[in-house]
Chain A
Amino acid sequence: GAVVSQHPSWVICKSGTSVKIECRSLDFQATTMFWYRQFPKQSLMLMATSNEGSKATYEQGVEKDKFLINHASLTLSTLTVTSAHPEDSSFYICSASVRGGNTEAFFGQGTRLTVV
């Protein structure tokens, strides 16, 4: 199947700083990428849908000014957690749909963010 690469796999940052997470589709073009957040022992929660070249669509309750999403090309989307706080510590996962394909989505390996 198609490969989605997420970087970094884990990151520790200080409170108040910003962290950028990258999501790349390595061998296919992804018109749409999705960002999820997962807290311990919980399911994945959709944060936002990102379409190449346009503004991301955020789910209710997700602050767009705090979680900045950029999808500048068909193979790269980034999520920046701005002014991170300990409560932002979570597992962040991206996924991508194959351009022109069906809804089978491919997921990155996830990024473990710890804010101290």
Chain B
Amino acid sequence: DAKTTQPTSMDCAEGRAANLPCNHSTISGNEYVYWYRQIHSQGPQYIIHGLKNNETNEMASLIITEDRKSSTLILPHATLRDTAVYYCIALANQAGTALIFGKGTTLSVSS
């Protein structure tokens, strides 16, 4: 699976958009970009995933560059409850494949 690089930490004001970047320059053609987050002392929560088109759901938007070497997770209106560690993971979309977590980005949302 391709290695991903994320900033260690980011801050965001409540109500503003949180843009979390991820570099995955060695991603291969069959690998998707997945985003999960982990709120303190809980199991990770799925956010969104995509292959090459931008994706949006009720939680977030995922913007993937045309060359697929990087992506950005956007939380349009961050709340205090969005404070968590966010993980960007690249892997092939194949049932039974384990998610391998890097260090992620600690997002702190403050009022």
Contacts and interface: CB of A to CB of B under 8 A. Distances in A.
A44 B96 contact: no
Most buried by A among B46, B93, B96: B96
Given A51-B96, A95-B43, A109-B42, A43 B34 contact: no
Interface size bracket, B side: 20 to 34
A109 B46 contact: no
B15 interface: no
Q: Interface residues of A: mostly helix, strand, loop or mixed?
A: strand
Given A43-B103, A109-B43, 13 more contacts: A31-B96, A43-B87, A44-B101, A45-B101, A46-B100, A93-B44, A95-B43, A97-B96, A98-B95, A102-B94, A103-B34, A104-B46, A108-B43
Interface of A: 1, 4, 6, 31-32, 34, 36, 43-46, 49, 51, 91, 93, 95, 97-110, 112
